[in-house]
Amino acid sequence: MTTPSHALPDHVHLQAAGVSLLLDCAEGHLPRVLHWGHSLGAITEHDIEHLRLAARPPAGAAQVDAAVHLSVLAEQSAGWPGTPGLTGHREGADFSTAFRVTAIEHAAGDGFSMAERAVITATDAPSGLDLTLEIELSSSGLARMRAAVTNREDRAFSLHSLDLNLPVPTEAQEILDFTGRWARERSPQRHAFTLGTHLRENRRARALDVSSLMAAGPTGFGWRSGEIRALHVGWSGNTRLYAERHHHAVALLAGGELLHAGEVQLGRDETYTGPWLYFSHGDGLDEMAGRFHQYLRQRPEHPTSPRPVQINVWEAVYFDHDLEKLKQLADVAASLGVERYVLDDGWFGSRRDDSSGLGDWVVSPEVWPHGLWPLVDHVRGLGMEFGLWFEPEMVNPDSELARAHPEWILAARPERWPLEARQQQVLDLTIPEAYAHVRDQMLAIVEEYPISYIKWDYNRDLTEPGNQASGRAVVHEQTRAVYHLMDELLAAKPGLEIESCSSGGGRIDLGVMERCVRVWASDCIDPLERQQIEAGTSLLLPPELVGSHVASTVNHTTGRHHSIDFRASTAFFSHMGIEWDLTSATEEELSRLGDWIALYRQNRELLHSGSVVHADHPDESLTLQGVVGADQERALYALTALRTSPFTTPGMVRLPGLDPERRYRVRPLLPGGADAAPTEARTAWWLEGTTLPGRVLATTGIQLPQLNPEQRLLLEVRTEE
């Protein structure tokens, strides 16, 4: 129920899962955050009033003669000296807003992932702008916000940015964000949270080198320690994230969509709605990430069926689509327990290499004279699902589509196309005819063949992303068109699943995850590199949404040689797959791989529903990760040696996340049993296992065998019978 403007509440308190978000809405100003963090419980009106007074900043020297307040949308009119939340103008005027709240609605959530929500509407009559703020708290304690601005005047309003923020406390003295490149995505970087603005921008509509989230906490915070607050922008186009601290001791995390100059021009009564911003709080990175995981798992679109073991044939055959070889691959895969078979790039048009054919989504009669049916029938006859690769947003200049419609290519000017990347350009899906071309060709394929899975790739940046006819940048509209295309395909083909690939981990945001049930975390499946890539990815996504494949013996991207146990045990903790020419594997390798696949299938229910945990082990050459069941009756852990250690043994290793009051039996878990331990150095308890209380395992730990570099040890922990 909407509250009349003459009787607006002076605060809104959202609470769930041990988190409180307390908003001060007094005096008609935009909401200001009195508290975001651990739950305040049943705080009284009296307490809120006194907290409001106690949190009121004094007027500072050499600044405006009033207290400077920060609202969730920062305004210059309130004296805010930092980055404004809304920037834009109307022919040079109306560049600064002073919104006044007109209505506040505080209600229950959606019955799925959202526990509580508030909708706050405001207006700035002199500027001719209306504002709507949606602020929600999920049942996992994850906060999310988005804003919409509407122009109420005849003159157009040119919107430059619409950013929202939540403040962080003085104790937040360190920032963690991520950088990277192709095949080395989500590399962590830490630095002091100093005065000024730390800004991370994505101007390429992909995130290979852009931070998937930004976290702030006390210096040295870790997986299990430090009160942390983090922000993620749930959008697949251009984005900005920033951490800002000012001399009057106010600090914040903020972000929104990054808009090109002139990209959003609002005519009368037109509205721009920004992306959802997700804010997570927790004691340690594990709890912070766990709120994202729980939120994603509670959505109705989250996959509920077991995540099938799949083989993707790219690194097995590349563009060489020989039917007999592909059938032979299917035979071997099925014999090992693989459940889904994905045909990658090269099945359509003139696509014999990466120089031509993109945009012509018609099965190549040259390579497939009888269509895909001979392979599809063979794969399905073996009991496996069939999946297919597409790159719907892209076009090769050497294609029937580009020759027929050069005006359908994203470009700032018709006479100057962007520099090519991977010998391709981007199709302008904001053009209705271009959109219909791709949609209809894709629908024809998924309706003709029993395709249950699409690997949706996206292999180049959006540079000079303009509509040729208007000359305006259209990244926002292009992103909306991509979402709509996915939505149409999913509606037309119930049960269809989409993987977000994008050269590996270029598009893993929560906007695309409203449509996709899997991301390809990286094109690099070297298991050593994957330790860091998947650790960074796990801060946002739970393991069942992250594809991780068993690579060939000699890795495609790094040239390293790894054991089958190291490769398979790395893929084991995510959505397991294979990227390997199995027809070239030895019988011993295939037997071992089959054991790992069986182990994954036995344990995926736990792996894909439990809480992801890590230990802050002091030896940086070792990492420990695990998954603890929701009922805390069972857990799986993996200790990994990244390189040689200065110590002869790992020392006492702690196993976090267990019920401190229960007793647990710990034993090694590897195909082949305890005799398959990675070294001959066994601890006293090794062969028989050991039983200890959860509090002892979490605070004292156990001695584990010495590991050589690039070895991995799995442990199973069960409550004692």
| Amino acid at residue number 396 | N
Give me the residues paired with residue 188 across strands.
178
Q: What is the pLDDT of residue 209?
A: 85
Q: What is the pLDDT of residue 686?
A: 75
- The answer to whether 483 is a known ligand-binding residue is no
Q: Which of 6-10, 182-186, 468-472 has the lowest mean pLDDT?
A: 6-10
- The answer to whether 516 is a known ligand-binding residue is no
In the predicted structure, residue 2 carries a pLDDT above the cut 50:
no
Residues in the chain: 721
Q: What is the pLDDT of residue 76?
A: 95
Which among 160, 146, 294, 298 is positioned nearest to 232, based on CA atoms?
A: 146
In the predicted structure, residue 679 carries a pLDDT above the cut 70:
no
In the predicted structure, residue 75 carries a pLDDT above the cut 50:
yes
In the predicted structure, residue 25 carries a pLDDT above the cut 80:
yes
In the predicted structure, residue 229 carries a pLDDT above the cut 90:
yes
- The answer to whether 455 is a known ligand-binding residue is yes
Q: What is the DSSP letter of 473?
A: B
Q: Which pair of tokens denotes residue 83?
A: 């980055």
> Which active-site residues does the annotation give?
457, 523
In the predicted structure, residue 303 carries a pLDDT above the cut 80:
yes
Q: What is the pLDDT of residue 112?
A: 75
- The answer to whether 325 is a known ligand-binding residue is no
Q: What is the pLDDT of residue 133?
A: 98
Mean pLDDT for the chain?
Answer: 95
- The model's confidence at residue 1, banded by pLDDT at 50, 70 and 90, is very low
- The model's confidence at residue 29, banded by pLDDT at 50, 70 and 90, is very high
Average pLDDT value for residue range 587-610: 97
In the predicted structure, residue 678 carries a pLDDT above the cut 60:
no
Which among 720, 709, 706, 701 is positioned nearest to 637, based on CA atoms?
A: 701
Q: Which of 100-104, 543-547, 620-624, 677-681 has the lowest mean pLDDT?
A: 677-681
Q: Which of 15-19, 111-115, 116-120, 565-569 has the lowest mean pLDDT?
A: 111-115
Give me the residues paired with residue 622 across strands.
641
- The answer to whether 344 is a known ligand-binding residue is yes
The rounded distance, in Å, linking the Cα atoms of 526 and 543 is: 18
- The model's confidence at residue 671, banded by pLDDT at 50, 70 and 90, is confident
Average pLDDT value for residue range 262-284: 98
Domains of the chain with bracketed CATH: 5-55+66-298 (2.70.98.60), 392-520 (3.20.20.70), 612-719 (2.60.40.1180)
- The answer to whether 457 is a known ligand-binding residue is yes
- The answer to whether 459 is a known ligand-binding residue is yes
Q: What is the pLDDT of residue 58?
A: 82
In the predicted structure, residue 522 carries a pLDDT above the cut 70:
yes
Average pLDDT value for residue range 341-348: 98
In the predicted structure, residue 6 carries a pLDDT above the cut 60:
no
In the predicted structure, residue 674 carries a pLDDT above the cut 80:
no
Compute the half-sphere exposure of residue 551: CA atoms within 13 Å on the CB side of its CA: 23
In the predicted structure, residue 110 carries a pLDDT above the cut 90:
no
Q: Which pair of tokens denotes residue 40?
A: 């305040």
Q: What is the pLDDT of residue 685?
A: 80
In the predicted structure, residue 434 carries a pLDDT above the cut 60:
yes
